[in-house]
Amino acid sequence: MKNTLNPVWQTFSIPVRALCNGDYDRTIKVEVYDWDRDGSHDFIGEFTTSYRELARGQSQFNIYEGGVSVHPAGQGQVINPKKKMKKKKYVNSGTVTLLSFAVESECTFLDYIKGGTQINFTVAIDFTASNGNPSQSTSLHYMSPYQLNAYALALTAVGEIIQHYDSDKMFPALGFGAKLPPDGRVSHEFPLNGNQENPSCCGIDGILDAYHRSLRTVQLYGPTNFAPVVTHVARSAAAVQDGSQYSVLLIITDGVISDMAQTKEAIVNAAKLPMSIIIIGVGQAEFDAMVELDGDDVRISSRGKLAERDIVQFVPFRDYVDRTGNHVLSMARLARDVLAEIPDQLVSYMKAQGIRPRPPPAAPTHSPPKSPARTPPESPLHI
């Protein structure tokens, strides 16, 4: 603390294992320095304590005079050994008083899942003309009878894992950047199954079927706008904010984003909701804007407002194409990296809102034994 001889330090957090590795009586030494601009900070003194002493909170037991707690059982000691040796009348170089102490158990992603939190998975697929004519083999949307295209591979890799965290297996699937029949209007938020009232598809296979049907009925067009699908999912996320549901939007795209300002604003607004966004870039385009949206290095902002938390994860699909043709291994790597941030993002939302995991449902009594419920498989989400 600068420019004061009576500092009051801000609250900080530290894992108990880092503080004392679970040994409540382990000695903890705190050193105090006088800050100097040139880095040659002057040592003022030190005191020792322990987790057990700190846990008593603000009291006479946590006043450190001369570096040692001065409660009746303690013995006052000089905190600066050099000064003690030089000055016979030296008592101490100040007093440190504990103002607050609290221990909080850290909840995990699986604590929330076991407590019933559902992952609502939504897919948004890029139908802009830059993908190429779906009937030609050079198109990113080409439907080969022998193998899945990049869109289908990416969707399957992520969806096959995340589907296990949604009990009803009904997933909204949207498209953007296409002209729709019969009037040829351009839409950036259309249901792949053609049902405006209910865009949900049954399972990953249902999404793939709706995707293939859409390729045969819509006209690829443009531009590449993300904001409508982000806002679509944000509306659903905003409807339930009690911790029972968490939305994940997967956007698969080939191009440079056209509505960057609007998308940033939509993401900043969504950052305060129970929601995460995954973006997978397919093809060979430059994805610099997607990296910016990712927010790992610099948190994104809109109109001077900073996003409350990082909710976007971007990966380029081309980094996961296995030259040997081993799609199983390369798609497993894709899913792992794409989903790696979801658990922490979910927990960060719950923590910010003060939402604790609900206790797991109790086993029913006086009923015939049932086979154990199928738990989600070991996956990238089990972190």
Sign of the CA dihedral running 192, 194, 200, 203:
negative
| 68-77 pLDDT per residue, tens | 444 433 333 4
CB-based burial label for 328 (10 Å; 0-12, 13-18, 19+):
exposed
Alpha helices in the chain (DSSP H): 16-20, 51-54, 81-86, 109-114, 150-162, 203-217, 227-239, 260-270, 288-294, 327-339, 342-353
**Predicted local distance difference test score (pLDDT) of residue 345:** 95
**Predicted local distance difference test score (pLDDT) of residue 209:** 97
Give the least confident one: 154-158, 180-184, 203-207, 324-328: 324-328
The answer to whether 379 and 164 are in contact (CB under 8 A) is yes
Structure tokens, 61: 């037991």
The whole-number average pLDDT for the span 175-202 is 96
Q: How far apart are CA 195 and CA 191, in angstroms?
A: 6
Number of Cβ within a 10 Å radius of residue 148: 16
Question: How many Cα neighbours within 13 Å face the side chain of 364?
Answer: 8
Structure tokens, 175: 């498209």
Q: How far apart are CA 260 and CA 44, in angstroms?
A: 52
**Predicted local distance difference test score (pLDDT) of residue 114:** 93
The answer to whether 330 and 157 are in contact (CB under 8 A) is no
**Predicted local distance difference test score (pLDDT) of residue 69:** 46
Q: How far apart are CA 190 and CA 182, in angstroms?
A: 14
Q: How far apart are CA 64 and CA 295, in angstroms?
A: 42
| 237-284 pLDDT per residue, tens | 999 999 999 999 999 999 789 999 999 999 999 999 999 999 999 998
Query: In residues, how long is the chain?
Result: 383
pTM: 0.78
